Structure 1
Amino acid sequence: MYETLTYVGGVHRHEEMEELIEDLGGFVLQENMLQMDLILTLAVPIDDVEKVKEKARELLGKVKIAPMAGTEIAVVSPTLARHHLPHAACDIAEYLRRYGAKDNMIGLARGAGKGISRISEEEKQLINEHDLAIFALGSFKHCIKEKTHLFEDINVPVVVTGAPKIKVEELPGATAYVSGFGRIPRRLKRGENIRALKKLVRVVEEILDNRRREIAEDPPLVPPIVVKSEIEHQVHAIKNIYSPTPVTSQLDGVRVKLNYERYHKDIEKVKVYDYKLGDIAEIKPSIMYDYILVKLLPETSLV
């Protein structure tokens, strides 16, 4: 069993932390370097968490539990227009990253106005490639209730946010609803905003934990974090990717930021334990930039 952690420290001597993680049999899930600060999202054996904390103290860094690590979340806004996207949606995305999530911002092409808002089939497929979707909607109850067609047939869990208090039963297709957001023309820095963000984190964590329990009832033969590590070691083209998290972990697979047509055969040949990845996973093109989407098959489907 692995514990997911976030390490925050300086760039100086950071390679010592990475070497320790490798020696312990753990994995670096995500690495972000911000000027002189380094943020690592880690998966380490539960018995070795104290060793990581001890090393962090030596390097004058900090370690905390990252309950959303190894997940990819879509933060969906009705449009890319400035009255929809920049404030609440962006702050939601930034706040989730503090808890280890890898999130992607998605602005719908025709989401403006409750009467004409639409979602295309391609946009639905893109959202369904994630572990969970957060729809950041507006400030009026009747407007939110008339936009349920945007998410009512999305296959992954959907969390809707908005300003008014609404019972989730009034929003067909929503797994949960969190109030306290809406169209806020400023950064979410006030007390009530922070409380709403913390509530959103609790709701998302609970949904993801339920999803993990569902997967554990019929798990894949190999964990996604092991697949991520093997792809990074065996597919040399990964080293030429400059995009953050070139191999992104999900609850039931990984997203590889390589062109499907050129590299899908290389991904299929990756050896994980005694298996070839193509034999234990569905490997298909992603809607996102023609990347490669690897969805691990459950054990029972391989019998």
Structure 2
Amino acid sequence: MKKKNKIKIIVIIILLILIYISNLHYPLRSYIAMYPLKIYYKNTGLFDDINLKIPSGKIEKENFYPFMLYFNSDKGFSNYIGKDANLSIAYNFGGFKFRNKNSSYYDKDSDLYSSFYGAYIIDSDDDNSFGFNENGHIDVDLLAKVPEYDQKYLVLSSIGLSSKNSVFENDIIDMKENIKYIDIDDWIKIDSNITTNSPIHENTNFYRGYIQFGIPKSEANKNFPLINIYGRMYVKYFKEYDKTIGFYILGKNKNIVDKIDKEIVSKSKIERMD
């Protein structure tokens, strides 16, 4: 019996050593920490009212994080836009590669560098539908504040860049109305060129975002340099839910955004709750 126990201990020690030298503890730490948070935020925010299914997946050989993540913001987002509103976010980003300490989100050589996709659900406490005026026309400036708040106050601040020093400039280059998307009519499709901060930086402190994204590569000539990326959003107000839904995609160029759209996001579904 003692011999069997010794063998078990040796096997466990060997496995722990292999996990450590292969850097598997970084993605494992991320999955173990983020999965319970995913469940909590999904069941306490607006996604609990709307059964919105967004797949995880990959484009070509590049994998995204293995499951969708969620976050809710009410007071922070309300303070940012200057009126009461509830915001729930579903998101995904470039996944971890074998033996890497970091996700592809940090990797400037990856197709998924600085990429995100997911959905926003916004519930405004005033009489108007969020992002649309009384006549039903889109309020582009207000809608642009959603990804701006997300990037500056949630994403970049979680890895050490103060919101006061972060940049998110959204230059709309194309907008089309009456688009059919995920088998639902009347979406508005908005494409943009975006100037924002790269996540690349030297890690001198530990920030909470490292738990989910991993540790950044130590190759930064300049911390959080400005980069140009491509953005896309499909937005629609749903009268039956009294909420605005926006599917969004960020990528290093239009080609990557097109692939993420075609291969993953366009396969999403909105189903009625029982």
Shorter-chain TM-score tier: under 0.3
Larger RCO: 1 or 2 (CA < 8 Å, sep 6+):
2
Q: TM-score, normalised by structure 1?
A: 0.25
TM-score, scaled to structure 2: 0.26
Structure 1 or 2: larger helix share? 1
